[in-house]
Amino acid sequence: MKEIGVKKQTALTYYEVALSELPEEYKKLLQQAENALENAYAPYSMFRVGASVLLENGEVIIGNNQENAAYPSGLCAERVALFAAKAQYPDVAIKALAVTARSNTKELLQSPVTPCGSCRQVMAEYEKYNAYNFPVILGGSEDVVWVVPNASDLLPLTFAGEGIKRE
C-alpha cells in the first residue's frame, strides 16, 4: 500500500502493580468498586462488575452492571457510576475511576478486565469535558492491579463530536 501521509503509532501505557503498592486513596477506591459489584444485576452473564468514581470534591459514586433480557438495554458498571457522578455533581471533575469484576464462581479474575468501547468513549468524553485526565484502576486478582494513567488512552482515535456541533 502506498503511504499517503504520516503514520502515527498508538500505544497504551499502563502499570501493573501489586495491590500493596497502590496509594491508599486508590486502594480504598478499588475496595468500593469491589463492594459495588455485590449488588450487580447479572442473571444472564453471571459476570458481575463494580465501579467507583472518585470526584475532586472527595465524593465517591459507585455503580455496577445492570443486565436486561434485551441485551442492549443493560448498562455497564463504569457508565452507571460515571453517569450518576455527573448527574449529581455536573461541574466536579473526576479524579479517578476503579473497576473490578467477578465471574459466576465469585472469585476475582486473575487478570484485570478492561472497559468496553462504549465505556471508554464515555471516559474520554468526560476527560475532554473537564479538561482533566484521570487514571483508571483495574482490579484483578488480589495481587494484580493495572493503572492506566489517562482514561482517554484506552480509546485511541476517540470520537470527539466536532462534526455534530451546531451553531
Determine the Cα–Cα distance for residues 139 and 27; give it in Å rounded to an integer. 10
**Range 19-25 average pLDDT:** 93
- Per-residue pLDDT band for 166 (boundaries 50, 70, 90) equals low
Fold of 15-146: Cytidine Deaminase; domain 2 (3.40.140)
Determine the Cα–Cα distance for residues 30 and 22; give it in Å rounded to an integer. 10
Q: Which of 34, 67, 78, 127 is catalytic?
A: 78
Q: How many CB atoms lie within 10 A of CB 4?
A: 6
The DSSP H or E segment spanning 37 is helix 24-37
Residue 167 pLDDT greater than 70, yes or no: no
**Range 2-9 average pLDDT:** 62
| Domain locations in the chain as residue ranges | 15-146
Query: Which pLDDT tens digit goes with each residue over 80-138?
Result: 999 999 999 999 999 999 999 988 765 556 688 899 999 999 999 999 888 889 999 99
Determine the Cα–Cα distance for residues 131 and 121; give it in Å rounded to an integer. 15
Determine the Cα–Cα distance for residues 126 and 108; give it in Å rounded to an integer. 28
Percent above pLDDT 90 for the chain:
67
Is residue 49 a contact partner of residue 114, using CB atoms and an 8 Å limit?
no
Query: Which pLDDT tens digit goes with each residue over 37-53?
Result: 999 999 999 999 999 99
Q: Is 3 a known active-site residue?
A: no
**Range 142-157 average pLDDT:** 88
